[in-house]
Every structure is written in structure tokens, then in C-alpha cells.
Amino acid sequence: MSLTMLSFLLAVFTGGPALFLSVLSHYRRLTVRLEQHGLRAQGQVVRVNEGRGKPSTVYYAFRPPEGPELSGKFDEATSVASKRLPGSPVDILYLAEAPEQHMAVGMGFTRGLYLLVAVPLVGVAITGVLSVLHAYFTQPK
């Protein structure tokens, strides 16, 4: 294995997971901000697209007092989502300084989900780096 190949593989096994982890961290921080500092608003279900063998998508709209109507969506188990009818209420959290940052109450990127994705991702990165370094330093000269 050449030094160029070593550099490339190390960049892949560190850069790829680091980039993905930064995106995950952004969504986790946003969820925490909304849960801690978000204002509540009452929204309405616009429609529900029931999934076959996968979660249903619930579309909602709400109007913060300081701006125009905004819309969003979240995925929910079909058994629960099928009970939501157009026009039924849904609680929304939004940031006063950025109302376009919003989510339905309880639907954010939870700590458990974050750890469920982040821990194996870090494990794959470490395993990949160690495997590449081992292959490089144990190759016959």
C-alpha cells in the first residue's frame, strides 16, 4: 500500500464519519434548543400519508403569532397516525427568533437515537483506521 493510498483511506475513515456525525449533532442540538427554548403553538394536521410497512407521514401547518403560516411533517407509527384526521390539533415547538425551525412536540432527534447511530459510526471509523494502519505497517517491504 502506498503512502497516497494510506492517506486516502485514512481520510475516508475519518472524514466521512466526522462529516456525518456533525450533521447528526446539528439535528440533535436543534432538538435540544427547541425542547428547552421553543415556544408552543397549536397546529393542525393537513393530511396523513399512510405508509405500507413503514411509518406514516403526518403533514401539519401552524401560524406563529409573529409571522406567516408554516408547515412541516413528521413520521409516526401508522397505528397512531391513522387516528389523526385533517384539522385535528398537533402541538408544535418553534424558535421565536427563527420560526422556520420547528417540530411537533415529541418528534425530535432523541438522545437515544443519536447514540444508537453515533456509537456504531465511531466504532466503524476506529476499526477502519486501525485496520488501514495495521495493513500499512505490516505489509512486506
SS (H, E, C) 48-101: EECCCCCCEEEEEEECCCCCCCEEEEEEECHHHHCCCCCCCEEEEEEECCEEEE
pLDDT for the residue numbered 131: 95
- What local confidence, expressed as pLDDT, does residue 50 receive? 86
**129: three-class secondary structure by DSSP:** helix
pLDDT tens digit sequence for 55-70: 999 999 999 988 899 9
Domain spans in the chain, listed from the N-terminal domain onward = 3-138
Which pLDDT band, with edges at 50, 70 and 90, does 79 fall under?
A: confident
The string of pLDDT tens digits covering residues 7-55 is 999 999 999 999 999 999 999 999 999 999 999 999 999 999 987 778 9
Q: Is the pLDDT of residue 71 over 90?
A: yes
